[in-house]
């Protein structure tokens, strides 16, 4: 008996290569959900505000060098350290809109020499499983038209192409609810696609417990 449990929020992830519009679209989605009366918050990985996140940020800005396995584990640790707060929020009925997640972790490390997908996935096994992962699909030619790549590590056309192929491998996994979004459309059209998929995911998530990723 007792009081009825509150409906949980959904865990919604946006993935995609550099300049696909993830941050733009995460912000717009959170705004739209809030305006329709649904509690929603944005998160991003890496979260550069924590102690671990500061190590990662320094690495990405090429201010420090870190061994490739070590930095992979730091990216994963940066997700795990936020899991208690993510679970709390989801239980409170807050939908989390997340800019990059474990899929970026695997895609970016696994293109490095000597790494395989399987090893890269292991540290993230058991993370809160997203109810929906939207992959913002953008060709490298279209990404190039959105301006120059930045100065950070990994921001080169060849690296991004290799990463795209790793994402394609990850998207074959049917245990994850993937939706491919055409990110070459204008900002509003991409937004409408994303809102449509998100409402469906929020509705479905209400009645099923949060899953465990890759488990």
Residues interacting with ligand Z5A, by CB under 6 A? 16, 18-24, 44-46, 60, 75, 99-100, 104-105, 108, 146, 154-155, 186-187, 190
We find the least distance from the C-beta atom of residue 99 to ligand Z5A, in angstroms, to be: 6
Those residues whose C-beta lies under 8 Å from the C-beta of residue 181, and which sit 6 or more positions away, are 134, 135, 136, 137, 190, 193, 194, 197
We find the least distance from the C-beta atom of residue 7 to ligand Z5A, in angstroms, to be: 28
The smaller minimum CB distance to ligand Z5A, of residues 108 and 167, is found at: 108
We find the least distance from the C-beta atom of residue 162 to ligand Z5A, in angstroms, to be: 12
3-state SS assignment for residue 77: helix
Those residues whose C-beta lies under 8 Å from the C-beta of residue 163, and which sit 6 or more positions away, are 17, 107, 108, 111, 154
Helix axis angle for 22-35 and 187-205, nearest 10°, is 60
The smaller minimum CB distance to ligand Z5A, of residues 40 and 136, is found at: 136
The smaller minimum CB distance to ligand Z5A, of residues 127 and 205, is found at: 127
The smaller minimum CB distance to ligand Z5A, of residues 68 and 212, is found at: 68
């Amino acid at each position: 008996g007792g009081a009825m449990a509150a409906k949980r929020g959904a865990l919604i992830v946006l993935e995609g290569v550099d300049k696909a519009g993830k941050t733009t679209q995460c912000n717009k989605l959170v705004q739209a959900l809030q305006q329709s009366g649904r509690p929603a918050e944005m998160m991003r990985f890496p979260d550069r505000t924590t102690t671990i996140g500061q190590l990662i940020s320094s690495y990405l800005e090429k201010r420090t060098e870190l061994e490739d396995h070590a930095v992979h584990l730091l990216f994963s640790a940066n997700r795990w350290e936020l899991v208690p707060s993510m679970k709390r929020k989801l239980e409170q009925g807050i939908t989390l809109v997340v800019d990059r997640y474990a899929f970026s972790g695997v895609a970016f490390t696994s293109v490095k020499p000597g790494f395989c997908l399987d090893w890269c996935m292991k540290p993230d096994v058991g993370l809160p499983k997203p109810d929906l992962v939207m992959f913002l699909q953008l060709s490298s030619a279209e990404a190039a038209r959105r301006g120059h790549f930045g100065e950070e590590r990994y921001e080169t056309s060849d690296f991004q192409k290799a990463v795209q192929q790793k994402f394609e491998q990850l998207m074959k996994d049917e245990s994850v609810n993937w939706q491919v979004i055409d990110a070459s459309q204008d900002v509003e059209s991409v937004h409408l696609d994303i809102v449509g998929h998100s409402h469906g995911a929020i509705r479905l998530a209400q009645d099923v417990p949060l899953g465990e990723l890759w488990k």
